[in-house]
Chains A and B, each alone.
Chain A
Amino acid sequence: MKKIGIILLWLLVWQLLSMVIHNSILLAGPVESVGALWQMILTREYWHAILFSLIRIIGGFFFGSVLGMILAWGSYRASLLEDFLKPFISVLKAVPVASFVIILLIWAGNKMLSFYISSLVVLPLLYINTLNGLRATDKKILEMAEVFRIPMFRRVRYIYIPSVYPYLYSAFQTSLGMAWKSGVAAEVIGQPIGSMGNGLYQSKIYLETAELFAWTITIVAFSFIAEKLFLKVAGICFNQKE
């Protein structure tokens, strides 16, 4: 109840501010933005853009996550692989997303740009967190598993996953939001036709601030829903409670 009250208060501040400024190009109010959103919802292009970006960003998130986890497992088992990957992971962490966007735009075009970018953003996070989780696994329990020769599948399921899951959970929480932000940013730069990023860009060109806010609301809403849904599903898949 308190949460809803705070949100309503901020919406009121936004509305009042837009009324004071009285210029919908500079600041469109919430009523105007919701109106624009309603108009967009009724079009086929809107849903097409959502589907276009959703598939690529979520697909990129999955690909980056799975690759990050596999590489982390490899590094955990063979320190040589960890040494080999260290510079690559450092580069992924340090290089600005915009640089990757431009390089990939030249190399691979704009159609799958948000897929590649969200993968690249997610990969180091998942890699580092999974590796930390694996390293935090209780050594004494691992010794026990060694003595009893517990099969690897059971070790993964009953020893490694419970140890890694808290690390994975926080990595998923951060990386899903980042995948959305960087994926849409890549679309704004790369301009694939019929994407959410393209919609945002078009709003900017035509100074349609209400439409720009409507797209932003859409992105935030889908990012939020995707995060909640994914964390729920991940909890069930890994047999862990949130």
Chain B
Amino acid sequence: MHIHFKDITKSYDGKIVLDRVNLLIDSGSESRDVLLRGASGIGKTTLLRIIAGLESPDGGSIEISMGEAARGGSSLKVGMVFQEDRLLEQLSAVANVSLVDTSVSEQRAREALGEILPPEALDRPVRELSGGMKRRVAIVRALLPPSDILVMDEPFTGLDPDTRDRVIGYIMRSKGRRPLIIASHEVEGLPKMRELILEQNQL
């Protein structure tokens, strides 16, 4: 699968956030995973939101697979970790994960969460969990359902170095051959991947 973001442009209230950004993602290639870096407010989140189909670019195009064109990437099934956790606070960690896709059984959700969360945290309402635990629930939720691409916006916020390393291990094991685009200030512990730096609104 190829995803080609061609000359993507995006601006808000006349202020250019992304200026002719080009990005090619090939799921068959060894360099399919991308680490997106850049100063805060430079447009990393905007680019991830365009990839997830949450926003449409003002200009440029997104080509998916065999030249099938879609503006906004809405035909892609995306597994996403948002900058905020965006969990349903009244539900348990297991329910939050199994809720998003009918193919994810409670048992699978429990097993996956058990890899990076203590067992006593699985059935408690998410509002009772710590920030770091919530982050891990959000990561499992992004990884478990079938998807074409994984997008993670600052996924390691609130994690101590040991937990972060465990979570990175879990991500790399669970993602399979799905391309991973990760925007993170924290690069320690991450395996070698294609690094792209967003500067002056360009990659």
Binding site for B on A (CB under 8 A): 140-141, 143-144, 146-151, 154, 158-159, 162
* Interface contact B101-A147, CB-CB below 8 Å: no
Chain B: interface secondary structure?
loop
- Contact B91 A144, beta carbon cutoff 8 Å: no
B84 at the interface (CB under 8 A from A): yes
> A150 CA to B104 CA in the complex, in Å?
12
Within 8 Å by CB of B82, from A144, A149, A150, A162, lies A144
Question: Could you name 14 residue pairs across A and B whose Cβ atoms are closer than 8 Å?
Answer: A141-B88, A143-B54, A143-B82, A146-B53, A147-B52, A147-B53, A147-B78, A148-B100, A150-B99, A150-B101, A151-B102, A154-B99, A158-B91, A162-B88
Q: Does B108 contact A (CB under 8 A)?
A: no
Give B residues with C-beta under 8 Å from A: 52-54, 77-80, 82, 84, 86, 88, 90-91, 99-102, 141, 145
**Docked pose: A154 CA to B102 CA in angstroms:** 10
In the complex formed, the residue of B with least CB distance to A142 is B86
Residues of B contacting A143 in the complex (Cβ-Cβ under 8 angstroms)? 54, 82, 86
A165 to nearest B CB, angstroms? 11
Best-buried of B77, B79, B100, B141 by chain A (most CB within 10 Å): B100
Contacts of B54 in A (CB 8 A): 143, 146-147
Once the chains are docked, how many angstroms separate the CA of A143 from the CA of B80? 11
User: Complex formed: what's the CA distance from A172 to B99 in Å?
Assistant: 29
What is the minimal beta-carbon distance from A235 to any residue of chain B, in angstroms?
14
Report whether B84 and A140 are in contact in the complex, using a CB–CB cutoff of 8 Å: yes
Residues of B within 8 A of A151 (CB): 102
CB-CB nearest in chain A for B82: A144
A197 to B80 alpha-carbon distance, docked (Å): 60
Residues of A within 8 A of B78 (CB): 147
| Closest chain B residue to A145, Cβ basis | B100
Name the residue among A143, A148, A159 with the largest chain B CB count within 10 angstroms.
Answer: A148
CA distance A151 to B101 in the complex (A): 8
Q: How far is the CA of A158 from the CA of B52 in the complex (A)?
A: 22
Measured CA separation A154–B96 after assembly (Å): 11
Cα-based distance from A149 to B145 in the complex (angstroms): 11
**Identity of the chain A residue whose Cβ is nearest the Cβ of B74 in the assembled complex:** A146
